Amino acid sequence: MEKRLIKKESLAGVIAELAGKMRVCAPMQAEDQVLFRVLEPSERPLVDFANTKNAPKNFLFPRTETLLKYTRTPKGMVAAGGAEEGMKTLFFGCRPCDARSFKLLDMLFDQEKYQDPYYIDKRAKTTVVAMACVHPPYTTCFCTSVGGNPTDSEGADVLLTDLGDQYLAEFITPKGEELLAAFGGTPAGVEAEKAKEGIAAQASSEIASTVPAREAKPVLDVRFEDPFWSTLHQKCLACGTCTYLCPTCHCFDISDEVKRNDGIRIRNWDSCMFPLFTKETSGHNPRPSQKERWRQRVMHKFRYYVDNFNAIACVGCGRCVMACPVNMDIRKIVADIVKL
């Protein structure tokens, strides 16, 4: 693995230059929040930030995405081309939790039996440059409880670690190595590696929240019916914010839109928190209240995903905890489940 030292002041410029050559998505200030978005050519990204309010999944699995196009003929609507091909893309500044989320999404969208060509195409064309959390930004961070780590490179092609006066850049994959020329820098020696080890230990120890996420699975296996579920959901507004901000939530709806003689079939993010999500035409709804929907959300992340992919579908970013308007806290919920 190639390791380089990059001057602090040069990093934003390197990314700005790349933004003229490919699609670059990076953290940017947007009024009072930091959002992950596409840079204009030569726009400089933020390099000092906590984390983005939105998860980067939007650029692999967009909130709204065209699947097919069609056009009217005398016999009916017929296909008129597919979706646009994905562009070569660079994700800059993903936090390690978010970089890890791509691995979790790969498990679902890139399964053996049915492959999702839209996701896979974008994913194949995307290079992930992650930025280690030298000081984990929030008290709600709990990546270490769900298999991640604030300085880990899982899901990243390049990992940057702030060593104080410069960045250590680790070019982890061949895709990452393609960026060597653009990043420049000088070879990193043992000293830098030592420094990173110290930073890594310190960063892990700064994670304030621990959640017994792995212990939840055996309890959930036998507690599908439990009075716990009847009280848990009561203040939930079913707004769906938690699922929309979640880096690993992947549920979607498919719908059609027609203007005059042309139409598209699109998919939009959907949410298991919404009452209509599972409602059938007959009126029957297997998840009739928010109780069943909250149970599904917990079960899906901490039990079913483990059954199907041997991984918890949560990266511990804490977005759902921070953004929920009524302060539902998945950390507390998981801790309570383990006590059942």
Partner 1 sequence: MQNPYVPAPVEVIKIVTEVDTKDIKTFRFAFLNEEDEAAFQYLPGQFGELSIFGKGESPIGIASSPTQKGYIEFTVQRAGVVTSALHDMEVGAVMGVRGPLGNSWPIDYLAGKDIVIVGGGFAFTTLRSLINYMIHPDNRSRFGKITVIYGARNPGLLIYKDELEAWGKRDDINLNVTVDKGDATWKGREGFVPTVCKEVAPSSENAVTVICGPPIMIRFTLPVFFELGFSKENIITSLEMRMKCGIGKCGRCNVGEKYVCKDGPVFSLAELDKLTKEY
Ligand X SMILES: Cc1cc2nc3c(=O)[nH]c(=O)nc-3n(C[C@H](O)[C@H](O)[C@H](O)COP(=O)(O)OP(=O)(O)OC[C@H]3O[C@@H](n4cnc5c(N)ncnc54)[C@H](O)[C@@H]3O)c2cc1C
281 binds ligand X (CB under 6 A): yes
Smallest gap from Cβ 290 to ligand SF4, in A, equals: 8
Q: What is the DSSP letter of 115?
A: B
Greatest CA separation for the chain: 72
Smallest gap from Cβ 244 to ligand SF4, in A, equals: 9
143 Cβ neighbours under 8 A, 6+ residues apart: 96, 97, 100, 136, 149, 150, 152, 207, 315, 316, 317
* Nearest Cα residue to 255 out of 65, 102, 104: 65
Mark residues 285-324: x for contact with ligand SF4 by CB under 6 A, - for none.
Answer: ---------------------------------------x
Q: Is the CB of residue 151 less than 8 Å from the CB of residue 132?
A: yes
180 binds, among ligand SF4, ligand X, partner 1, none (CB under 5 to 8 A by kind): none
CA distance 240 to 181: 43
Six token digits for residue 184:
């420049």
Query: Is the Cβ of residue 175 or residue 265 nearer to ligand X in the bound state?
Result: 265
Mark residues 50-69: x for contact with ligand X by CB under 6 A, - for none.
Answer: --------------------
Query: Is the Cβ of residue 36 or residue 277 nearer to partner 1 in the bound state?
Result: 277
> Stretches 132-140, 205-213, 221-229, 237-245: which one binds ligand SF4 (CB under 6 A)?
237-245
CA distance 103 to 128: 12
Six token digits for residue 290:
């928010």
Q: Is the CB of residue 130 less than 8 Å from the CB of residue 151?
A: no
Which of 241, 296, 313, 331 touches ligand SF4 by CB under 6 A?
241
**Hey, what amino acid is at 72?**
R
Which of 137, 212, 240, 263 touches ligand SF4 by CB under 6 A?
240
Cα–Cα separations (whole angstroms), residue 57 to 19, 32, 235: 19, 21, 28
280 binds ligand X (CB under 6 A): yes
Which of 107, 195, 238, 338 touches ligand SF4 by CB under 6 A?
238
115 binds partner 1 (CB under 8 A): yes
Q: What is the 3-state secondary structure (H, E, C) of 210-242?
A: CCCHHHHHHHHHHCCCCCHHHHHCCCCCCCCHH
Query: Is the Cβ of residue 281 or residue 310 nearer to ligand X in the bound state?
Result: 281
Six token digits for residue 158:
């390049």
Query: Is the Cβ of residue 78 or residue 181 nearer to partner 1 in the bound state?
Result: 78
236 binds ligand SF4 (CB under 6 A): yes
Query: Is the Cβ of residue 8 or residue 103 nearer to partner 1 in the bound state?
Result: 103
75 binds partner 1 (CB under 8 A): yes
* Nearest Cα residue to 207 out of 317, 308, 288, 98: 317
> Residues in the site for partner 1, rule: CB under 8 A?
67-68, 70, 73, 75-79, 82, 108-109, 111, 113-118, 120, 224, 250-256, 258, 263, 265, 267, 270, 272, 277-282, 286-287, 292, 296, 299-300, 303-304, 307-308
> Residues in the site for ligand X, rule: CB under 6 A?
280-281
